[in-house]
C-alpha cells in the first residue's frame, strides 16, 4: 500500500465524526499548549501503592484521562520517591469531614493528593479532578472536599428479558442476556465508567414489571457476571423482583408474605444470590400496582410484603426498595390521592433496611407536577426519590428536554413537614428526619444506540441526574455547562449558547405540551396528543379524566369543593395552592377548574393565556433551531446534524400538540384564537387522523 493511502486512512480514522459513544469522557487533547503545560506540572506520575480493584480502576481512569488530555504517557508507580508533579491516591479511613464515599483533593507545591475514606472515595476524587481539567479550570491551588449527600444513587432500568425496554427510546437493552455470562460485551464496562464518573453507585438491571426468570439459578449466573464488571467501579447490582416468584419458580402454592414457607423460600433465595454476588445491593419491588401482584392479594399490606423481603436480605446487608407508585382502577376516586392514602398509615412499620421509593409527583412523571405529598408525611420511613430520565412524557428521544430543572423544582419544593425550609431534598437526603437509609433513582434513558440515549443532548439528563444525586445543591445551569463543555465544545461562547438552549428547553416543552398545570398521563399513545381520548379499560387511563374540560372551563378541582387532594399537603402549602389567586400558575390546572373567561395574573383570560402558551411554545422550537445553527462551527458535524434533524421533527410535533389542544379545547371554550395568533390551518379531524396513524398495529 502506498504511503499516501495509509496516511489518508489514518487521517480519516482520526477525524471520524463523533458518534457520541464516548459520552462526557472524551479526554481529547487540550489544544492550548500553555494550559497543557500548566496542568502537566502537577501530573507527571500517578502514585498508587495498592492492587485493590477500585483503587486500580481509579489509577487507570486517571491515567486514561490525563494521557488523552495532556497527550503524553503518565506512568502509574508505587512510590513517588520524592519526585514532584505526582498525583498520590490514598485511602484514609480516619479522614475527618468526609463520609464513606467522599474525597478530598489538595494540590500543594505541584503534588496532588486525592484522599478517600474508602476506595470508592478515591475513584470519585479522580473523576472530580479530571472534570476540572475537562472544564479547563485551574488546579494550581486546588482544594476540594466533597461527600455525597445521598447514600444510594441509582439507575433503574426497565429492561426486559427479550432486550426490549419499557419506555425506552434509545434502542434495545444494553444487557445481552443470551450471551451472558460467557461473553462480556465491552460496553458493560463503558457503562460502569460513565456511571462512576458521575457518582452513581447502584443499578437495577431489570424492569420493575419483573420477570421471575431473573431469580432462577440460570439467570443469577448472568447477573453475577455483570456484577463482576461493575464492582471495580464501585457499583452494586440490584434486581427487580416478581412478588409471586415463590409460586412461579419455587413450586409453592402461595406467595403470602406471612406464610413461613414463603419466608423460607426468600431466605434461601437471598442466600443463593449472596453466594454468587457477595455485594448484591437488594431488591426493587413494584407490587399491587398496574396489575402487578403483591401482598394485598393475600389480604396483607405493603409493609408486610416489604418486611418479609427485608428480613431475608438483612443478614447480608441488602436493602429493599419498595415503590409507592400505586393506584386502583376507581373512576370516582382521584388517582392523585391513591399512593398517599395507602402509604401514610404504614409510616414507621417498615423494617430498617426498607426504603419506600416515591415518584417525584403524585401521578406519573408529567412534564410538570407538584411534588408528591408523601414527601411531607412519613417522617419515620426512609423515603427515596424516583425520577424518570427516559422521556416517556417528554417527547421520547425526539424532543429536546433538559431535565435538571424538573429535578431541582421538586427537590427545592418546601413540604413544611418540619416547618419552613423542609424541602423535599432535605427529606430524601435524610437530614430532616435523620433517616439511616437514603436513596435516589433515575429511570434510565440508556439503550443500545451508539450514543447511548438516542437524542445526543439527552446524555445531559443522565449526567445531571448523577451529579445531583451526589449533591442536590448544584445548579441546573452549572451542570448543563459542565456537560456541554466536557461533551460538545470547550469554546466558551458556543458552550454558553448550548447551555442556554438546554436550560430553556423544558419550559418550552411544557408550553406547547401541558401549560398551566395540564396533565396527560397514560392515554394509549404516550407520544401523540389525544386530549379527546375518553375510552379505555379504566377511567383513569383516559385523557378526559385528567383535564376535565367542559363548557365552563378546564382543570381538575382538587380543592375542598372537588377531590380535596390538597388536604394531603401541610397547611402552609394548602393555603397557597387552594386559592386560585395565589396558586402558582404552573400548577393552576392541577388544583383548580378555572373558567375560560377568568382573568389570570398575567392579565389574560384562561383561554387567551393557554393559546398564548401553546403558540409561543411551538414558536420557540423555531428559535431553538436557530440557536443550534449558530454553534455549528464548534460542534462535531455528526452530532450537529443529528440534533438539527431532531429539532426539525420537534418543531413539526410541537405544532401538532398545539393544534390538537387548541382545536379540541375550542370546542368547549367556544372562543376565538386571540390575536396575533392565527387559527391552525388544519381541522381537529385532520389532527385526529394523524394521531390514529400512530395507533395502527
Ligand atoms: O409511567 C408508567 C409507565 C409504565 C411503568 C409505570 C411504573 C414500568 O407508563 O410503563 O411501568 O409507570 O412506573 O411502574
Residue 8 covered by a domain = no
> In angstroms, what is the span from residue 379 Cα to ligand 1's centroid?
26
* The pLDDT of residue 521: 73
Residue 562 covered by a domain = no
Q: Closest Cα partner for 485 from 60, 69, 13, 179?
A: 69
Say which residue the cell 500517578 belongs to. Answer: 46
Measuring from atom 7 of ligand 1, which residue has the nearest CA? 325
Residue 242 covered by a domain = yes
> Do the beta carbons of residue 88 and residue 72 sit within 8 Å?
no
Burial of 183 (0-12, 13-18, 19+ CB in 10 A): exposed
> In angstroms, what is the span from residue 468 Cα to ligand 1's centroid?
23
* The pLDDT of residue 98: 96
Residue 395 covered by a domain = yes
Residue 538 covered by a domain = yes
Binding site membership of 604 for ligand 1 (Cβ less than 6 Å): no
> In angstroms, what is the span from residue 683 Cα to ligand 1's centroid?
33
ω into 181 cis (within 30 of 0): yes
Q: Which residues are within 8 A (CB) of 592 and not within 5 positions of it... i.e. 6 or more apart?
A: 555, 556, 557, 558, 559, 580, 583
Q: Does 519 lie in the same domain as 483? A: no
Three-state DSSP state, 594: strand
Rounded to an integer, what distance in angstroms lies between the CA atom of residue 557 and that of residue 288?
27
**Atom in ligand 1 nearest the alpha carbon of residue 364:** 1
Full DSSP string of 274-310 = HHH-TT--EEEE--SSTT---GGGGT--HHHHHHHHH
Q: Does 158 lie in the same domain as 140? A: no
Say whether 409 is catalytic.
no
Q: Which residues are within 8 A (CB) of 430 and not within 5 positions of it... i.e. 6 or more apart?
A: 150, 382, 436, 437, 438
**Which DSSP state fits 603?**
S
Rounded to an integer, what distance in angstroms lies between the CA atom of residue 237 and that of residue 633?
42
> In angstroms, what is the span from residue 633 Cα to ligand 1's centroid?
40
> In angstroms, what is the span from residue 27 Cα to ligand 1's centroid?
37
* The pLDDT of residue 522: 65
Q: Which residues are within 8 A (CB) of 471 and not within 5 positions of it... i.e. 6 or more apart?
A: 146, 148, 149
Residue 585 covered by a domain = no
Which residue among the candidates 101, 304, 334, 364 is catalytic per the annotation? 364
Q: Does 524 lie in the same domain as 484? A: no
- What are the 10-residue block averages of pLDDT along the chain, 697 residues in total? 46 63 98 97 97 98 98 95 89 95 97 97 98 97 97 98 98 98 98 98 98 98 98 98 98 98 98 98 98 97 98 98 92 93 98 98 97 98 98 97 98 98 98 98 98 98 99 98 98 98 98 94 77 90 94 98 98 98 98 98 98 98 98 98 98 97 98 97 96 87
What's the structural domain count of the chain? 3
Say whether 392 is catalytic.
yes
Which residue among the candidates 159, 386, 392, 409 is catalytic per the annotation? 392
Q: Closest Cα partner for 649 from 543, 527, 530, 532?
A: 527
Q: Which of 364, 444, 521 best tests ligand 1's pocket when mutated (most atoms within 8 Å of CB)?
A: 364
Say whether 290 is catalytic.
yes
Rounded to an integer, what distance in angstroms lies between the CA atom of residue 633 and that of residue 480?
20
Binding site membership of 525 for ligand 1 (Cβ less than 6 Å): no
**Atom in ligand 1 nearest the alpha carbon of residue 207:** 8
> In angstroms, what is the span from residue 271 Cα to ligand 1's centroid?
30
Residue 317 covered by a domain = yes
Measuring from atom 13 of ligand 1, which residue has the nearest CA? 325
Q: Which residues are within 8 A (CB) of 347 and not within 5 positions of it... i.e. 6 or more apart?
A: 377, 378, 379, 380, 381
Last-in-domain residue among 146, 170, 193: 146
Q: Does 117 lie in the same domain as 82? A: yes
Provide the CB-side half-sphere exposure for 355 (13 A, CA): 30
**Atom in ligand 1 nearest the alpha carbon of residue 393:** 1
Measured between alpha carbons, how far is residue 401 from residues 458, 468, 487 in Å? 7, 17, 17
Measuring from atom 12 of ligand 1, which residue has the nearest CA? 364
Binding site membership of 149 for ligand 1 (Cβ less than 6 Å): no
* The pLDDT of residue 12: 43
> In angstroms, what is the span from residue 538 Cα to ligand 1's centroid?
15
Binding site membership of 365 for ligand 1 (Cβ less than 6 Å): yes
Full DSSP string of 526-589 = SSS--TT----SSGGGSSHHHH---SSEES---STTTT-GGGGS-HHHHHHHSSTTTS-GGGHH
Residue 575 covered by a domain = no
Measuring from atom 11 of ligand 1, which residue has the nearest CA? 209
Q: Does 120 lie in the same domain as 201? A: no
Rounded to an integer, what distance in angstroms lies between the CA atom of residue 593 and that of residue 586?
14
* The pLDDT of residue 9: 43
**Atom in ligand 1 nearest the alpha carbon of residue 526:** 9
Q: Name the phi and psi angles at 24, rounded to 5.
A: -95, 10
Last-in-domain residue among 127, 146, 165: 146
- CATH number of residue 166's parent domain: 3.20.20.80
Binding site membership of 286 for ligand 1 (Cβ less than 6 Å): yes
Rounded to an integer, what distance in angstroms lies between the CA atom of residue 194 and that of residue 189?
9
> Do the beta carbons of residue 175 and residue 205 sit within 8 Å?
yes
Rounded to an integer, what distance in angstroms lies between the CA atom of residue 205 and that of residue 165?
11
Instruction: Output the nine-digit C-alpha cell for 338.
Output: 391513591
Q: Does 207 lie in the same domain as 86? A: no
Q: Which of 157, 290, 291 best tests ligand 1's pocket when mutated (most atoms within 8 Å of CB)?
A: 290
Rounded to an integer, what distance in angstroms lies between the CA atom of residue 424 and that of residue 430?
10
Question: In 3-state terms, the chain is what percent helix, strand and coil (to 5)?
Answer: 45, 10, 45
> In angstroms, what is the span from residue 267 Cα to ligand 1's centroid?
29
Range of the domain at 626: 511-556+593-695
Which residue among the candidates 172, 290, 477, 491 is catalytic per the annotation? 290
Q: Does 515 lie in the same domain as 475? A: no
Q: Does 547 lie in the same domain as 410? A: no
Amino acid at each position: 500500500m502506498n504511503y499516501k493511502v495509509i496516511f489518508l486512512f489514518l487521517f480519516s480514522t482520526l477525524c471520524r465524526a463523533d458518534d457520541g459513544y464516548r459520552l462526557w469522557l472524551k479526554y481529547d487533547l487540550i489544544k492550548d499548549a500553555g494550559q497543557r503545560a500548566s496542568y502537566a506540572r502537577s501530573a507527571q506520575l500517578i502514585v498508587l501503592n495498592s492492587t485493590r480493584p477500585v483503587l486500580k480502576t481509579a489509577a487507570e481512569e486517571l491515567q486514561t484521562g490525563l494521557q488523552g488530555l495532556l497527550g503524553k504517557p503518565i506512568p502509574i508507580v508505587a512510590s513517588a520517591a520524592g519526585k514532584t508533579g505526582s498525583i498520590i491516591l490514598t485511602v484514609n479511613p480516619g479522614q475527618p469531614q468526609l463520609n464513606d464515599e467522599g474525597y478530598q483533593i489538595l494540590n500543594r507545591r505541584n503534588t496532588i493528593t486525592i484522599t478517600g475514606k474508602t476506595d470508592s472515595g478515591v475513584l470519585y476524587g479522580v473523576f472530580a479532578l479530571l472534570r476540572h481539567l475537562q472544564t479547563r479550570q485551574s488546579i494550581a491551588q486546588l482544594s476540594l472536599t466533597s461527600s455525597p449527600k445521598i447514600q444510594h444513587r441509582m439507575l433503574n432500568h426497565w429492561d426486559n428479558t427479550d432486550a426490549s425496554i419499557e419506555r425506552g427510546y434509545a434502542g434495545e437493552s444494553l444487557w445481552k442476556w443470551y450471551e451472558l455470562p460467557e461473553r462480556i460485551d465491552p460496553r458493560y464496562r463503558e457503562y460502569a465508567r460513565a456511571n462512576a464518573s458521575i457518582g452513581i453507585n447502584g443499578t437495577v438491571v431489570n424492569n420493575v414489571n419483573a420477570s421471575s426468570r431473573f431469580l432462577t439459578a440460570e439467570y443469577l449466573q448472568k447477573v453475577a457476571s455483570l456484577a463482576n464488571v461493575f464492582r471495580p467501579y464501585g457499583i452494586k447490582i440490584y434486581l427487580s423482583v416478581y412478588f409471586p416468584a415463590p409460586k412461579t419458580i419455587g413450586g409453592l402454592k402461595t406467595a403470602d408474605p406471612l406464610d413461613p414457607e414463603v419466608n423460607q423460600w426468600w431466605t434461601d433465595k437471598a442466600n443463593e444470590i449472596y453466594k454468587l454476588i457477595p455485594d448484591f445491593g437488594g431488591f426493587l419491588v413494584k407490587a399491587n400496582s398496574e396489575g402487578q401482584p403483591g401482598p394485598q392479594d393475600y389480604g396483607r399490606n405493603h409493609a408486610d410484603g416489604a418486611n418479609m423481603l427485608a428480613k431475608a436480605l438483612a443478614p447480608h446487608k441488602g436493602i429493599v426498595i419498595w415503590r409507592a407508585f400505586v393506584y386502583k382502577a376507581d373512576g370516582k376516586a382521584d388517582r392523585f390521592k391513591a399512593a398517599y392514602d395507602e402509604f401514610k398509615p404504614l409510616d414507621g412499620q417498615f423494617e430498617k433496611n426498607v426504603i419506600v421509593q416515591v415518584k417525584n409527583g403524585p401521578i406519573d412523571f408529567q412534564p410538570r407536577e407538584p411534588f408528591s405529598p408523601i414527601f411531607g408525611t412519613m417522617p419515620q420511613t426512609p423515603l427515596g426519590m424516583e425520577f424518570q430520565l427516559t422521556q416517556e412524557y417528554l417527547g421520547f428521544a425526539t424532543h429536546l428536554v433538559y431535565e435538571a430543572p424538573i429535578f431541582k423544582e421538586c427537590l427545592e419544593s418546601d413540604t413544611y413537614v418540619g416547618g419552613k425550609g423542609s424541602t423535599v431534598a432535605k427529606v430524601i437526603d435524610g437530614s430532616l428526619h435523620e433517616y439511616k437509609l437514603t436513596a435516589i433513582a433515575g429511570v434510565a434513558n440508556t439503550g443500545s444506540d451508539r450514543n447511548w440515549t438516542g437524542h445526543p443532548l439527552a446524555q445531559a439528563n443522565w449526567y445531571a441526574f448523577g451529579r445531583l444525586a451526589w449533591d442536590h445543591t448544584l445548579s441546573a445551569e452549572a451542570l448543563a455547562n459542565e456537560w456541554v463543555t466536557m461533551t460538545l465544545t470547550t469554546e466558551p461562547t458556543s458552550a454558553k449558547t448550548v447551555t442556554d438552549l438546554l436550560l430553556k428547553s423544558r419550559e418550552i416543552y411544557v408550553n406547547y405540551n401541558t401549560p398551566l398545570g395540564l396533565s396527560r398521563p397514560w392515554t394509549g399513545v404516550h407520544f401523540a396528543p389525544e386530549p379527546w381520548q375518553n375510552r379505555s379499560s379504566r377511567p383513569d387511563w383516559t385523557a378526559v379524566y385528567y383535564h376535565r374540560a367542559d363548557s365552563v372551563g378546564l382543570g381538575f378541582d382538587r380543592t375542598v369543593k372537588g377531590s380535596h387532594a390538597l388536604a394531603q399537603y401541610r397547611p402552609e402549602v394548602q393555603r397557597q395552592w387552594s386559592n386560585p389567586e395565589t396558586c402558582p400558575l404552573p400548577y393552576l390546572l392541577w388544583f383548580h377548574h378555572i373558567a375560560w373567561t377568568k382573568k389570570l395574573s398575567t392579565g389574560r383570560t384562561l383561554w387567551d393565556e393557554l393559546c398564548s402558551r401553546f403558540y409561543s411554545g411551538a414558536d420557540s422550537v423555531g428559535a431553538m433551531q436557530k440557536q443550534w445553527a449558530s454553534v455549528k462551527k464548534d460542534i462535531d458535524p455528526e452530532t450537529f446534524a443529528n440534533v438539527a434533524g431532531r429539532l426539525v421533527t420537534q418543531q413539526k410535533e410541537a405544532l401538532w400538540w398545539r393544534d390538537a389542544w387548541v382545536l379540541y379545547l375550542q370546542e368547549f371554550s367556544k372562543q376565538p384564537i386571540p390575536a396575533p395568533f392565527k387559527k391552525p390551518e388544519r381541522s381537529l379531524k385532520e389532527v385526529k387522523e394523524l394521531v390514529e396513524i400512530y395507533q395502527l398495529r
